[in-house]
Amino acid sequence: MSSAANAVRDWLQARLPLAETQEFASHKTVPVHRFMAIYYLGGMTLFFFIVQVITGILLMLYYRPSANEAFESVEFIMTTVPFGWLIRSLHSWSANLMVYFAFVHLVTVYFTRSYRKPREITWITGCLLLFVAMGFGFSGYLLPWNQLAFFATRVGTDIAGAVPIVGEWALRFLRGGDRVSGGTLSRFYGWHVAILPLITAALLAGHLILVQLQGMSTPESERKSAASRRPMQFFPNFALRDLFGWVLALAVLAGAAALFPWELGEKADPFAPAFADIRPEWYFMFMFETLKLVPGGEIFGIEYEAIPILGFSLLGLLLVLVPFLDPEPTTPGRRRFFNGIGVVGLVYAVGMTAYGYRSLASVWIVVGTALLILALGLATRRTPRSST
């Protein structure tokens, strides 16, 4: 090593904990067992988030967040800016894949009981990151200012307005007024490029630090097997495998973006009749279809539609509190109960999503989720009593 390189290293070492970091990295390991593939899901979610950030910054260079110019600016990006259509398509596809892998990551953590002590805060930050990712999808859906996004946003904000007591305030807060307008677009843009990224940065930093400090959790059923095997070094062995997965993900993402470019549609017209095929993004579909099944009317001054909305909110809160509802150690009865709740919730969400699309896409959703459940093999698996 040259004297200049030594000088730079010494300068950095005096100001940054490089030696301590290197020491920590050299001793960090990953448990080896038959389900260790689930450890790559978090990194895959992080990869698609990074793609979101990079492509989002590039799109911001040309996007104009106003009702008069938003659609035209996106059209300009797709038709005039070199490779603009590809960047927008990459952004849209990576957004959907990020939510998908975040959801799959959450499911695997749930069924492997990786939320237990001392990883309660890791689970909480992970749940919040999933909710924020869905918020990214909801706020970003309106930005192209096309017909489908306009009316879908109007329906989505109407749902928020049905919540008892705070519904009217929530409706006006989301829309920036009484109806979806250019003010709504500007507000959603602010959430999408400023507020949500700040929240994500804080949550993601805390989540990653906790994962590094606490290490990878071993599923209950694999603890004895993992204890009998030599763990894998995180650097470079696991990190290189994770990087290889990122390369494969980039190839799939680029192929999807090039072969199936994201469509723009028609410019939003607030005075046009309601769009015929209004539907949200796929990760909101199970909630949307549930609300469509609710009849009109009210009881005790509360609209029927508000009941499932409050129900989904309560389920989201219970999901965050799972580590405290299912602490370790646990009884076989409680273990089966939480397994059953997880399977029922997963099947319901996937089933209602498939029902909402009523197309070939629904078949792929069902098949993909079925493969996920089979790959886990933990939802109904009996954990040996000797496991600790």
Q: How many whole angstroms separate alpha carbon 6 and alpha carbon 165?
A: 65
* 94 contacts: CB under 8 Å, gap ≥ 6: 48, 51, 52, 55, 253
Asked if residue 207 lies in contact with residue 125, where contact means CB atoms within 8 angstroms, the answer is yes
Q: In this structure, how many other beta carbons lie within 10 angstroms of the beta carbon of residue 1?
A: 7
Half-sphere exposure of 184 (CA within 13 A, CB side): 28
Can the peptide bond before residue 231 be classed as cis, meaning omega within 30 degrees of 0?
A: no
pLDDT at 166: 85
Provide the residue ranges of all domains of the chain, joining segments of one domain with +: 30-376
Tens digit of pLDDT at every position of the chain (388 positions): 568 888 888 888 888 888 888 888 888 899 998 888 899 999 999 999 999 999 999 999 999 999 999 999 999 999 999 999 999 999 999 999 999 999 999 999 998 999 998 999 999 999 999 999 999 999 999 999 999 899 999 989 988 888 888 888 999 999 998 899 999 999 999 999 999 999 999 999 999 999 999 999 988 878 888 888 999 999 889 999 999 999 999 999 999 999 999 999 999 988 887 776 778 888 999 999 998 888 876 666 677 788 899 999 999 999 999 999 998 777 778 888 998 999 889 889 888 888 887 765 555 666 666 556 555 554 434 444 433 3
pLDDT at 383: 42
* 126 contacts: CB under 8 Å, gap ≥ 6: 105, 106, 109, 207
Q: How many whole angstroms separate alpha carbon 311 and alpha carbon 345?
A: 13
Tell me the pTM: 0.90
Q: How many whole angstroms separate alpha carbon 151 and alpha carbon 39?
A: 39
Class of CATH domain 30-376 = mainly alpha
Nearest to 289 by CA among 362, 360, 344: 362
The two tokens of residue 291 are: 């609300």
Scan for tokens 């989301």, then name that residue: 174
C-alpha to C-alpha distances, 67 to 180, 188, 263, 387, nearest whole angstrom: 10, 12, 19, 59
pLDDT at 379: 40
Nearest to 217 by CA among 126, 144, 297: 126
Q: How many whole angstroms separate alpha carbon 313 and alpha carbon 138?
A: 16
Q: In this structure, how many other beta carbons lie within 10 angstroms of the beta carbon of residue 18?
A: 13
Half-sphere exposure of 21 (CA within 13 A, CB side): 7
Phi-psi region of 145 (alpha: psi -120 to 50; beta: other; left: phi over 0): left
Q: How many whole angstroms separate alpha carbon 132 and alpha carbon 345?
A: 20
Asked if residue 75 lies in contact with residue 148, where contact means CB atoms within 8 angstroms, the answer is no
pLDDT at 384: 42
pLDDT at 355: 83
pLDDT at 360: 53
pLDDT at 385: 41
Nearest to 264 by CA among 102, 71, 134: 71
pLDDT at 335: 84
* Residues facing 30 on adjacent strands: 232
The length of the chain, given as a count of residues = 388
pLDDT at 373: 56
Q: Which amino acid is at 81?
A: V
Max Cα-Cα span within the chain: 79
Q: In this structure, how many other beta carbons lie within 10 angstroms of the beta carbon of residue 268?
A: 23
Q: How many whole angstroms separate alpha carbon 231 and alpha carbon 33?
A: 9
